[in-house]
Amino acid sequence: MNDFTKVALVTGATGGIGQAIAKKIASDGYIVFVHYSGNEEKAAKLIEEIVDAGGKASLVQADVTNALSVMEMFDTVRSVNGELNVVVHSAGIMPMARIEPENLDEFKRVIDTNLIGTFLVLSHAAKCVSSGGRIIALSSSVVAKNFPQYGPYIASKKGVEGLIRVLANELKGKNITVNGIAPGPTGTDLFFKGKSEDLINWFKDQNPMNRIGTPEDIANGVSALTGDLGRWINGQIIRVNGGFA
């Protein structure tokens, strides 16, 4: 029976993968703070779904690219019982842009959100997460593929993986693990948007499991890291992708 004494923060919780993570962590017995950037209605609907399923959840808004906003988010989360046990940083964007001079602004936007946002969230998590806690950030299995137009996104996620490994070492002696989850192609609205059936089938064919992942597949990977079985996994990037790499 869940006693709801532990607190978790899930950023980017209105996205397809973020929603699944928030629901799974709530079902694992955490009080979940559902972070959103702009879509409060979608976040509130997620809260209702978690509560209807017997969980506990609250809303928290923040711009992950803004240092003050991120600090205030962590202050709000810690106000529940003075502790924060799990942080899952799922917030991010994935616009397509070729490596061309006219796309510099788009590159900066991706770096601001995906890399600087991760730095801010991880830096506060490092100060706020209690002993025995877990910090998880999402990368992507696409970093191994080097597809055209993915340059800004891959650059940002490579940086995220570096931050994860370094922070794991910087928290030596704190009894806090820091890991990354790198999903492969996952069946979210964002993934399917603008893709033909032939292209979707191509992605399926690239996977030994011959399918696209589900948000729940990714959430289960996160849950494994936050549970008791994940206590000896640290400084790792786990490719939750069915073999797509």
Q: Which of 30, 36, 150, 153 is catalytic?
A: 153
CA dihedral 80, 83, 85, 87 (to 10 degrees): 70
Whether 30 is catalytic is no
Q: Which residue, among 22, 187, 166, 176, has the nearest Cα to 90 in the 3D structure? A: 22
| Number of neighbours of residue 242 by Cβ within 10 angstroms | 21
Q: What is the C-alpha separation between 20 and 240, in angstroms, rounded?
A: 14
Edge to edge, what strands does the sheet with 30-36 contain?
56-61, 30-36, 6-11, 84-89, 129-138, 177-183, 237-240
Residue matched to tokens 């910090």: 135
Is residue 21 within 8 A of residue 219, CB to CB? The reply is yes
Residues belonging to the active site: 153
